Amino acid sequence: MTPFLLGDLAAEFVSVLRTILYAAPYILGYILLILAALALYSLARRILRPASDFRSLKTVTFGDESAVRSNGVASVVSVVLIFVLWAAFTGSALLPSWLHAPGAFTGTGSFTYTVTLPDGRSDDATVEVLVYPRESEAEAPEVAPGEGFAKNDSIAIAEYRSELLRVDRNDELGRDEGAEITAIDGQPVAPGESVRVGFGRVALSGKGTPNIIPATGMQMEPIWLPAPETVWQRLTEIASTGYRNSTLWEHLGYSLFRVIVGFALGAMVGIPLGYAMGLSDWFRGWFDPIVEFMRPVPPLALIPLVIIWAGIGEVGKIILLFLAALWIMAIAARSGVSGVAISKVHAAYSLGASKWQVLRHVIIPNSLPEIFTGARVAMGVCWGTVVAAELVAAEKGAGMMIMVASKFQSTDIVIMGIVLIGIIGFGIDMLMRRAERWLVPWKGRG
């Protein structure tokens, strides 16, 4: 550990803090929105429906966990607000323009600069700036040179861009003659400083060249964050025509297929392994070091090794997911077996059950709730792992789709992919929960 490392880390930490500080006003604004919505909701409720249900008659609600239930209205507003904010900050056509966040400046603007020579003479000239939308192209407007040794200039800049302009390139006396820009729009300025102008900002570089920076507003460029409708369009487009030689359903289907096969294999090996560990001290001793070591190794850390051993095809992916599920399922089965109340086992023996009957009728059913919990965790981990593995290397799959899209800066596809991955992960968890309620209704009721 060198002191340099500590210094580097401190600098990193400071820059993280600075980022958080930049974000603070937005976070604060969001919290205020939440509170404002709450105030509105409370007001509306008080007017529409006077308090009389059981919960509203409670005098102690703060700290009473049972009084806190997820408020459906809040959930709906929250989700709608996400889309509204998304639309507002991307200038989406889904919102009326008065709801948009201030956009980037487009159109024409101008500023004057004042040049001073070493002998004290000075002159003004005007720069016409045309800011054009990114999709179109434009020429710098024609301007008359004007009076004096400093001549007028013009420039065309694409939205969201800034440009350095050598304003002295057409002046009679320029930088080579010792001319320096000393003021912009009448405001004194020195190299390294900047000045607000009508359309944005003009900064002087270290050498004294004006850097023209039109205001970018508060909206996101599509390359950072496309509008919701763009993402939706991309979704319908890819759903019908596919992406990278595969349809959307093939990409998602491949990812799901890998997860299901990997998980199924992991469970098929892991559950018997867990039972063996729960029932025999020899097996427990044998596998404990292996399982306890492999458990904390994140499956993602195995990706490089799996690629070296098995390549980037299906076999490698399935081995990886098999390993991801294996330890989780083994541990779940083991603790399911160890968790059986000894009185239940004793009762079964006293009722005349044989060892096999105890296993079949007591130990296995008793372990099912734990196994289901493990299966839910394992499916979640597998889904995350498959996406990560496809990010690294794959020919098909949800992860591969967004990775390739990011290389081409197709942010819309990336966001669409993330949303789909989230929805599928959520769907898997819902299905597992449904299955759990149906198959092990006694869970937690022992």
Binding residues (CB under 8 A) for another protein: these are: 341, 343-344, 346-354, 357, 361-362, 365-366, 368, 440-442, 445-446
Nearer to another protein by Cβ, of 280 and 357: the residue is 357
Nearer to another protein by Cβ, of 30 and 349: the residue is 349
Q: How far is the CB of 377 from another protein (least distance, A)?
A: 22
Q: How far is the CB of 289 from another protein (least distance, A)?
A: 23
Q: How far is the CB of 356 from another protein (least distance, A)?
A: 10
What does each C-alpha distance from 214 to 220, 257, 331 come to in angstroms?
15, 50, 60
| Phi and psi at residue 315, to the nearest 5° | -60, -45
Find the helix or strand (DSSP H, E) in which 187 lies: strand 187-188
Q: How far is the CB of 440 from another protein (least distance, A)?
A: 8
Nearer to another protein by Cβ, of 83 and 349: the residue is 349
Beta strands in 96-186 (DSSP E): 107-116, 122-132, 153-158, 163-164, 180-184
Q: How far is the CB of 270 from another protein (least distance, A)?
A: 21
SS3 119: coil
Nearer to another protein by Cβ, of 285 and 441: the residue is 441
Handedness of CA 430, 432, 437, 443 (dihedral sign): negative
Q: How far is the CB of 340 from another protein (least distance, A)?
A: 11
What does each C-alpha distance from 136 to 2, 50, 156 come to in angstroms?
53, 58, 11
Nearer to another protein by Cβ, of 278 and 369: the residue is 369
Residue 221, sorted as left (phi over 0), alpha (psi -120 to 50) or beta, turns out to be: beta
Q: How far is the CB of 437 from another protein (least distance, A)?
A: 13
Nearer to another protein by Cβ, of 157 and 340: the residue is 340
Q: Give the number of C-alpha atoms closer than 13 A to the C-alpha of residue 382, restricted to the C-beta side.
A: 35
Helix 398-407 and helix 364-392: axis angle, to 10°?
A: 20
Residue-wise burial string across 133-156, b where 16 or more C-beta atoms lie within 10 A, e elsewhere: eeeeeeeeeeeeeeebbbbbbbbb
- 263 and 382 in contact (C-beta within 8 Å)? yes
Name beta bridge partners: 163: 212
Nearer to another protein by Cβ, of 222 and 339: the residue is 339
Nearest in space to 262 (alpha carbons), one of 382, 152, 388, 398: 382
Q: How far is the CB of 347 from another protein (least distance, A)?
A: 4
Nearest in space to 302 (alpha carbons), one of 282, 290, 320: 320
Nearer to another protein by Cβ, of 7 and 441: the residue is 441
Nearer to another protein by Cβ, of 196 and 346: the residue is 346
- 125 and 151 in contact (C-beta within 8 Å)? yes
Nearer to another protein by Cβ, of 345 and 388: the residue is 345
Q: How far is the CB of 369 from another protein (least distance, A)?
A: 9
Q: How far is the CB of 430 from another protein (least distance, A)?
A: 24
What does each C-alpha distance from 138 to 135, 144, 163, 166, 444 come to in angstroms?
10, 19, 14, 19, 69
- 59 and 65 in contact (C-beta within 8 Å)? no
Q: Give the number of C-alpha atoms closer than 13 A to the C-alpha of residue 387, restricted to the C-beta side.
A: 17
